[in-house]
Structure 1
Amino acid sequence: MTLKSTIGALCAASLAVCGISAAHAQPVAHDNAAPNPAMKSPDHMTKAPLAKGANSFTEGEAKSRLEKAGYANVSDLNKDADGLWQASATRHGKPVKVALDYKGNVATR
C-alpha cells in the first residue's frame, strides 16, 4: 500500500466515523474562519507590507478605514501611482504618514 492510498483510506475512515460519505463531504464555513484575504475588515487591519495594485476604495472609504485603524486628523489624502492611499495623520498625538493598500492593510510610512 502506498503512502497516498494509506492517507486516502484514513481520510475515508475518518469521514465514515463521523457519518459522512467521502462523496458527500462539503467544506463548512465556521464563525471563526479567517476573513477573505483579498480585503481586510477595518477591525482586523494588520501592519503587513502594503501591496501595490488597483485600489477600489473611495476617498471617503479610505479615510474611514484609516480612522478605524486608530489614526486621527487624517488629511492630505491622495492615491499614488501604486494604488496606495497616502495621508498625513496623528496617532497617539504624534504626526505620522500613513498608507492604505487595496487589501485594507494600513501602515505608517
Structure 2
Amino acid sequence: MNKTFLLLLTATSLLTAPSFAQNPPATDRPNNSAVNSSGQNNSDRPVSGANSFTESQAKSKIEEAGYADVTSLKKDENGVWRGKASKGGASTEVSLDFQGNVNAAK
C-alpha cells in the first residue's frame, strides 16, 4: 500500500508541477510597425490611422526629418498631418502619419 500511495503522490506532483511555471515576460519586437522608432521611415507614403501627435509635435517631427519653415499643418480625415515645408532650398508638401513617417509629396 505504501508503494501505491507513493506512486500516486509522485504522479500527482509531476502532473501539477507545470501549472506552477510562470510565463516569460513579453519582449520587445524589432519589427513592430505600429511605431517607427528607428529614425527612418518604414513606409514611402503616409499610413492611415489614428494619429495622436499634436500640431506642435507634428511640426517638431517634420523638422527633425530635416525640413524647415513648416507651415499650414492640418490633420486630414485619414489621421495624417499635412503641410508645407522646405528642404535644401526647395518648398514641398509634407506629411506625417501616426507611425512617425515623414514624407514629401511625390
Instruction: Please state which band the TM-score falls in when normalised by the shorter chain.
Output: 0.5 to 0.7
CA-to-aligned-CA distance 1:1-51 (integer Å, 9 cap, x gap): xxxxxxxxxxxxxxxxxxxxxxxxx69969xx7363212137223552211
Count of residues in Structure 1 that have an aligned counterpart in Structure 2: 85
User: What is the identity, as a one-letter code, of the residue corresponding to 1:107?
Assistant: N
- Equivalent of residue 48 in structure 1, options 10, 35, 44: 44
- Equivalent of residue 102 in structure 1, options 98, 101, 105: 98
Taking the aligned partners of 1:51 and 1:83, their CA distance within structure 2 comes to 9
1:34 aligns with 2:30: yes
Contact 2:33-2:42 within 8 A present in 1 as well:
no
- Equivalent of residue 71 in structure 1, options 64, 67, 77: 67
Contact 1:42-1:69 within 8 A present in 2 as well:
no
User: What is the identity, as a one-letter code, of the residue corresponding to 1:65?
Assistant: K
Query: What's the C-alpha RMSD, in Å, of the aligned pairs?
Result: 2.5
Q: Compared with structure 1, are the counterparts of its residues 91 and 41 closer, same or farther at alpha carbon in structure 2 (3 Å cutoff)?
A: same
> Unpaired runs of 5+ in structure 1?
1-25
1:88 aligns with 2:84: yes
User: What is the identity, as a one-letter code, of the residue corresponding to 1:89?
Assistant: A
Matched residues, percent identical?
40
* Partner in structure 2 of residue 5 of structure 1: none
Taking the aligned partners of 1:82 and 1:50, their CA distance within structure 2 comes to 9
Q: Compared with structure 1, are the counterparts of its residues 94 and 45 closer, same or farther at alpha carbon in structure 2 (3 Å cutoff)?
A: same
User: What is the identity, as a one-letter code, of the residue corresponding to 2:81?
Assistant: W
**TM-score normalised over the length of structure 1:** 0.64
